[in-house]
Amino acid sequence: MANVAVVGAQWGDEGKGKIVDWLSERADVVVRFQGGHNAGHTLVIDGVTYKLSLLPSGIVRKAKLSVIGNGVVIDPWALAAEIDKLTAQGVVINRDNLRIAENATLILPLHRDLDQIREAAAGDGKIGTTGRGIGPAYEDKVGRRAIRVNDLADPSTVGAKIERLLSHHNPLRRGLGQPEVSAASIMDELMSIAPRVLEYSDAVWSLLDGMKREGKRILFEGAQGVLLDIDHGTYPFVTSSNTVSGQAATGSGMGPGSVGFVLGIAKAYTTRVGSGPFPTEQDNEIGEYIGTRGREFGTVTGRKRRCGWFDAVLVRQAIKVSGVTGIALTKLDILDGLKEIKVCVGYMLDGARIDRLPAGQGDQTRVEPIYETIPGWEGSTAGARSWAALPAQAVKYVRYLEELIECPITLLSTSPEREDTILMIDPFAD
């Protein structure tokens, strides 16, 4: 059976949590491969809501192994708090169902401090980060001064690594008017949290290789969306990691051949949290209608999401750069009741039509969407579990999007409930 990688095909918040949970029923392992606790997934299972940030969505399913790969940056205190919260909801979490890559980078309190200080100082130029230290932790990883999970198991070597880390951070803090951090305080904090993390530490690359050899089905769970990719997104208003499907291999320790079907997730409209370009944004009654019906607030931050029409140009671009095999279209039911629906089919830039989002920040702010308007539909799509249950015009809308994005829509979600899903092509099938 094929392994499956799930990635967001917009700016995140596309409903990946539900889709990953739905797919995890047929998977043996669910692997997070990038990002940190700035990512949020909301799952609704049998009327119970679970909100996840670091833990893979498979953690709420019995007999599934959840893995946090080396491509993830881990705030150990946030991880412990999330485990405690889910435990209080009746979810059993132990080494039998959770493993953490021993070579994953840790987020420390000084990373969070730096993130928030920089964002506050940026004023109108702020990027819109969650302020949780994700970016600074990735900076230290690339700068070869990070503290990693396996370092917690050998306190004799941690002291020198902390000094190396602080030789970078304390001058920064002084320059920003902040007090220095002592090596002793960091050591104490790390040693106090170490048992909570080391309980799950493992050579994840080897573990996954063994499962692959056994024919186990592996589901790679991406965070955020392709349009937030550090290389291919709307730079600099992006996250600090690669969110494309290629990162599933790098961020888990498995080769590219281990990633089979790439399922992109896209809403039937478009949303974005934070700053940055958004060509189809509707800062009007339509945006309010979509946002209210779709309950568009960030799982992690609670920030109100910006809402707009479906942008076929951006989704098609995300599909190309991430090698998406098929699309799961979510939240179709939110468009119920609209008399007409617009879809962006191209852009105008300085008087010329283009069919991609340019890489330049200035160009991105100047593009103007070209819309096609199609009729809405009467009746409800909410809770539909078959094509026959959908209004005819809703089916036409889905098929129209499929043509525009040049990729098959293989799965359709019509409510937050995992059972309200229409499957056209099984991603796990050979």
Residue 125 pLDDT: 66
Out of 9-18, 188-197, 409-418, give the one with best mean pLDDT. 188-197
Residue 115 pLDDT: 86
pLDDT bracket for residue 51 (50, 70, 90): confident
pLDDT tens by residue, 114-172: 988 888 776 666 666 777 899 999 999 999 999 999 999 999 999 999 999 999 999 99
169 is catalytic: no
Residue 167 pLDDT: 96
21, 37, 41, 229: which one is catalytic? 41
Q: Is residue 1 pLDDT above 60, yes or no?
A: no
Residue 430 pLDDT: 63
Pairing of strands 326-330, 261-267: parallel
Contact criterion met (CB below 8 Å) for 398 and 267: no
Residue 301 pLDDT: 62
How many residues can be counted in the chain?
A: 430
pLDDT tens by residue, 76-91: 999 999 999 999 999 9
pLDDT bracket for residue 425 (50, 70, 90): confident
The CA distance from 334 to 381, in Å, is 9
What residues form DSSP beta bridges with 219?
A: 4, 30
131 vs 276: which has the higher pLDDT: 276
Q: 61-65, 180-184, 308-312: which has the minimum mean pLDDT?
A: 61-65
pLDDT bracket for residue 418 (50, 70, 90): confident
User: Cis omega before residue 236 (within 30°)?
Assistant: yes
Residue 118 pLDDT: 84
Q: 108-122, 169-183, 277-291: which has the minimum mean pLDDT?
A: 108-122
Residue 274 pLDDT: 83
28 is catalytic: no
**Chain CA centroid to CA 210, Å:** 26
The CA distance from 190 to 151, in Å, is 10
Stretch 211-240: mean pLDDT: 94
Residue 2 pLDDT: 80
Stretch 336-343: mean pLDDT: 96
Q: Which residue has the tokens 């132990």?
A: 94
pLDDT bracket for residue 360 (50, 70, 90): very high
Q: Is residue 212 pLDDT above 90, yes or no?
A: yes
Global pTM value: 0.92
Residue 78 pLDDT: 95
Residue 326: enclosing H or E segment and its boundaries?
A: strand 326-330
